[in-house]
Amino acid sequence: MKQLLLHFTFLSMSFCMASCQNNSSQTTQKDTSMKNDPASEKKNNEDWKKKLTPEQYSITCEGSTESPFSGKYLNNHATGMYNCVRCGNPLFNSETKFDSGSGWPSFYKPEKDSSVTSKTDRTIGMIRTEVVCNKCGAHLGHVFDDGPKPTGMRYCINSGALDFENGPPQPSQREGAE
C-alpha cells in the first residue's frame, strides 16, 4: 500500500514536471526589435545600480523605506508632477499632496488609476499594501485607508522614488492677452 502511494506520488510529480516543461517550451521568444521597445524600460538590477543613487536603488529595487522627515519632497509645496525616478512615469500630481504628519510625502490619489499598482506586503510582520510603479515595477511606498477626502486614501511615498517636475497649477489656467 505504501509502495503504491509512493508510486502514485512519483507519477503525479513526473506529470507535473512534464507539464511545466511543456509550458516553458510554449513560451516562444518574440524577437521584436522595434524602435520604441517598452522592454528597454525594464533594466536589470545591475543597470539600476549604475543609474540610481544608493538610496534610490535601495528604495525602488529593494523596497526599503527612507527615514521619516528625511525626504527632499516632504515639504515641497511647488506645483507640478511627481514622476517615477526610474522610468519617468507621471505618478502623483502636487494638487493631491497633503501634510499627513507621517514624515513622508503623502497623496490622496495617483495621477491615474493606471499609474501605480498595489501588492500585498507582509515583510515586517504586518500586512500592508505596497505601491509600485505600474510601468517599471519600482517600489514607491505604501497606501493606507486613513487619508483625507475625497478618496480617503493615503499614499505614503518615499521621496527617493520620485522625481519632481515643476508645472503649472491648473492645465486650464492661461495667460490670455487679447
Q: Which residues are catalytic?
A: 156
Choice between 138 and 156, CB closer to Zn ion: 138
Using the CB atoms, write b or e for 57-82: b if 16+ within 10 Å: bbbbbebebbeeeebebbebeeeebb
Choice between 41 and 148, CB closer to Zn ion: 41
Say which DSSP state 13 is in: H
Which residues fall within 8 angstroms of residue 77, CB to CB, at 6 or more apart? Answer: 94, 97
Choice between 89 and 93, CB closer to Zn ion: 89
Dihedrals phi, psi of 80, to nearest 5 degrees: 160, -155
C-alpha cell at 26: 510554449
CB of 143 to Zn ion, least distance (A): 16
CB of 124 to Zn ion, least distance (A): 23
Contact in structure between 128 and 142 (CB atoms under 8 Å): yes
Choice between 42 and 72, CB closer to Zn ion: 42
CB of 111 to Zn ion, least distance (A): 12
CB of 83 to Zn ion, least distance (A): 8
Residues binding Zn ion (CB under 5 A):
84, 86-87, 89, 133, 135-136, 138
d(CA 73, CA 56): 13
Give the residues across from 80 on adjacent strands: 166
